[in-house]
C-alpha cells in the first residue's frame, strides 16, 4: 500500500509519499516562515495563498522523488482540520481533485491524528499507548487504543505549549518562529536564575496551563524595562523552558498513572507535535518516562513539526481498515480528536 499525503493546515506546505512497510519515499516540506516573519506570526490569508502557489509543484516533486506514477498509489490523504481554514481547503481540494482524476480513494485526516500516529511510522508500536501532543495550537494527553479510538485524558485550559513558546520568544525579541529560537537562546542560560510559576503542579487531573507562566515572564521583562542584557535574556529563556519541562513532567506522571490503571498492558509513551522537537524537553520527558518504567518514543525531529509523511501514514492506517471518505467531507477549522471521525465512510 502506498499513500500520498498533503498537509496545509498552518504555515507548512507539505506533500509526502509513504508505504505500508513504513518507508518514506518522499517528504517535501516547504516552510513559509520568511513570508510571515515580518508580522511576527502566521497570517492566515498569506498562508492560504502561499499553499495555493506551491502545492501542485510539491505534489509533482514528491511523485518524481518517489520515482512512481499516480497509478502506483493506493490512496490520497489530506488534513481536513483542525487548522486555518483557507489552508486546509487548499490541501483538501487538491487531494479531492487528485482523487477524482485518478479514481483513487480520498482519506480525510485529523491533523492531530497525524501527530499521534507518527510514532507507529517510525517504530514498531502496538496499541494501546499514551501520547503527549504538544504543538502550536494544541497540548493534550491522548490515550490511543486503536485507529479512531482516541480518548483525551487532559488538555490545556488556556495556551498551547507551542503558543507559550512563541509568545514568550516574541516578548524577548528572539525572532520568528519562536520555539526553536527560544530553545537556542536557552542553551546558554541559567535555568535557575528566575523564579517562575509551575501552573497546575500537583493537580489531580491531567490538564495543562501555560498562560500564567507566559505572564510571569512578561512581568519580569517589564520590571527590567529595556535593561535585560543578553545574559539575562538567555537566563529568562532557560528558566521558562525549565518551568515548561517541570509542568509537563508533573502532568505526564499523572497521565501515566491514569493510563496504567486503565490499560495495564500498555507500556509506551510517545510525544508528537512541533514542541516535541525541543531537545531539552525530549531529554527531561525521557528521564521521567523511563523512571516510571515506560518505553519512550520521540519521532525524529523532522517528523515532529508539521509534515506530509504523518498525513500519508495516517492515510495508510485508515485505508488498511477501509476507512475512506466521500468527496463531500467538510474542512473543519475545529475538530477534537475524540469526536466521531465522520459519518461519510463509504
**Contact window for ligand KG4 (CB under 6 A) among 58-66, 270-278, 310-318, 325-333:** 270-278
CB of 164 vs ligand KG4, minimal distance in Å: 8
Q: Taking Cα atoms as reference points, which of 178, 156, 155 lies closest to residue 241?
A: 178
Report DSSP letters for 283-304, one per residue: HHHHHHHHHTT-EEE---GGGT
- Residue 292 neighbours by CB distance under 10 Å: 14
Site string for ligand KG4, 291-330 (x = CB under 6 A): --------------xx------------------------
Q: How far apart are CA 92 and CA 81, in angstroms?
A: 9
Q: Which residue is nearest to Zn ion (CB)?
A: 135
Of residues 129 through 188, those in contact with Zn ion by CB under 5 A are 135
Residue 129, beta-bridge partner list:
144
CB of 328 vs Zn ion, minimal distance in Å: 25
Site membership for Zn ion, residue 79 (CB under 5 A): no
Instruction: Pick one of 7, 12, 250, 306: the residue that binds Zn ion (CB under 5 A).
Output: 306
CB of 18 vs Zn ion, minimal distance in Å: 17
For residue 82, how many C-alpha atoms fall within 13 Å in the half-sphere facing its CB? 11
Instruction: Pick one of 221, 243, 275, 324: the residue that binds ligand KG4 (CB under 6 A).
Output: 275
Q: How far apart are CA 206 and CA 257, in angstroms?
A: 10
Contacted entry of ligand KG4, Zn ion, none for residue 137, CB cut-off 5 to 8 Å set by kind: ligand KG4
Q: Is the separation of the CB atoms in 294 and 256 below 8 Å?
A: yes
Site membership for ligand KG4, residue 113 (CB under 6 A): no
Q: Ramachandran region of residue 345, left (φ > 0), alpha (ψ -120 to 50) or beta?
A: beta
Site membership for ligand KG4, residue 7 (CB under 6 A): no
Pairing of strands 2-7, 12-19: antiparallel
Name the residue nearer to ligand KG4 (CB basis): 36 or 318. 36
Listed in sequence order, the DSSP H helices in 123-229 are 161-171, 178-186, 211-223
Instruction: Pick one of 178, 191, 299, 315: the residue that binds ligand KG4 (CB under 6 A).
Output: 178
Site membership for ligand KG4, residue 166 (CB under 6 A): yes
Site membership for Zn ion, residue 235 (CB under 5 A): no
CB of 307 vs Zn ion, minimal distance in Å: 9
Contacted entry of ligand KG4, Zn ion, none for residue 130, CB cut-off 5 to 8 Å set by kind: none
The set of cell numbers assigned to 336 is 477534537
Using alpha carbons only, how large is the chain's radius of gyration in Å?
A: 20
Q: Which are the contacts of 184, defined by CB distance < 8 A and separation ≥ 6?
A: none
Name the residue nearer to Zn ion (CB basis): 140 or 234. 140
Rounded-to-10 torsion of CA 320, 115, 263, 285 = 150
Q: How far apart are CA 284 and CA 193, in angstroms?
A: 19
Q: How far apart are CA 237 and CA 206, in angstroms?
A: 25
The alpha carbon of 233 is separated from its chain's Cα centroid by a whole number of angstroms, namely 27
Instruction: Pick one of 278, 284, 299, 312: the residue that binds ligand KG4 (CB under 6 A).
Output: 278
**Contact window for ligand KG4 (CB under 6 A) among 14-22, 66-74, 88-96, 131-139:** 131-139
Name the residue nearer to ligand KG4 (CB basis): 9 or 99. 9
Of residues 179 through 238, those in contact with ligand KG4 by CB under 6 A are 179-180, 183
**Contact window for Zn ion (CB under 5 A) among 38-46, 149-157, 299-307, 320-328:** 299-307
Name the residue nearer to Zn ion (CB basis): 113 or 306. 306
Pairing of strands 268-272, 295-297: parallel
Q: Taking Cα atoms as reference points, which of 146, 165, 144 lies closest to residue 156?
A: 165
Catalog residues that contact ligand KG4 under the rule CB under 6 A: 10, 135-137, 162, 165-166, 177-180, 183, 273-275, 277-278, 305-306
Catalog residues that contact Zn ion under the rule CB under 5 A: 135, 306
Amino acid at each position: 500500500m502506498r499513500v500520498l499525503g498533503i498537509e496545509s493546515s498552518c504555515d507548512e506546505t507539505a506533500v509526502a509519499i509513504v508505504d505500508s512497510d513504513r518507508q518514506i519515499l518522499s517528504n517535501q516540506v516547504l516552510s513559509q516562515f520568511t513570508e510571515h516573519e515580518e508580522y511576527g506570526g502566521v497570517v492566515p490569508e498569506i498562508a492560504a495563498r502561499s499553499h495555493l502557489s506551491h502545492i501542485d509543484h510539491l505534489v509533482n516533486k514528491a511523485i518524481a522523488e518517489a520515482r512512481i506514477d499516480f497509478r502506483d498509489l493506493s490512496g490520497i490523504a489530506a488534513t481536513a482540520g483542525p487548522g486555518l481554514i483557507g489552508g486546509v481547503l487548499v490541501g483538501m481540494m487538491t487531494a479531492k481533485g487528485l482523487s477524482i482524476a485518478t479514481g483513487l480513494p480520498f482519506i480525510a485526516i485529523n491533523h492531530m491524528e497525524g501527530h499521534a500516529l507518527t510514532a507507529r511510522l517510525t517504530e514498531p508500536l502496538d496499541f494501546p499507548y499514551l501520547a503527549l501532543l504538544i504543538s502550536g495550537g494544541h497540548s493534550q494527553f491522548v490515550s490511543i487504543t486503536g485507529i479512531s479510538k482516541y480518548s483525551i485524558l487532559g488538555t490545556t485550559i488556556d495556551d498551547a505549549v507551542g503558543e507559550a513558546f512563541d509568545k514568550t520568544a516574541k516578548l524577548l525579541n528572539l525572532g520568528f518562529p519562536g520555539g526553536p529560537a527560544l530553545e537556542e537562546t536557552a542553551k546558554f542560560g541559567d535555568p535557575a536564575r528566575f523564579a517562575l510559576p509551575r501552573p497546575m503542579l500537583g493537580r489531580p487531573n491531567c490538564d495543562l496551563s501555560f498562560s500564567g507562566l507566559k505572564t510571569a515572564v512578561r512581568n519580569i521583562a517589564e520590571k527590567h524595562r529595556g535593561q535585560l542584557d543578553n545574559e539575562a535574556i538567555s537566563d529568562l529563556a532557560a528558566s521558562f523552558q525549565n518551568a515548561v519541562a517541570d509542568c509537563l513532567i508533573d502532568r505526564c506522571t499523572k497521565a501515566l498513572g491514569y493510563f496504567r490503571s486503565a490499560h495495564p498492558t500498555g507500556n509506551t509513551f510517545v510525544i508528537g507535535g512541533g514542541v516535541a522537537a525541543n531537545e531539552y524537553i525530549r531529554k527531561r520527558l525521557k528521564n521521567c518516562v523511563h523512571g516510571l518504567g515506560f518505553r519512550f518514543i520521540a519521532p525524529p525531529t523532522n517528523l515532529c513539526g508539521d509534515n506530509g509523511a504523518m498525513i500519508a501514514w495516517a492515510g495508510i492506517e485508515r485505508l488498511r481498515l477501509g476507512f475512506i471518505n466521500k468527496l463531500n467531507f467538510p474542512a473543519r477549522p475545529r475538530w477534537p480528536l475524540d469526536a466521531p471521525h465522520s459519518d461519510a465512510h463509504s
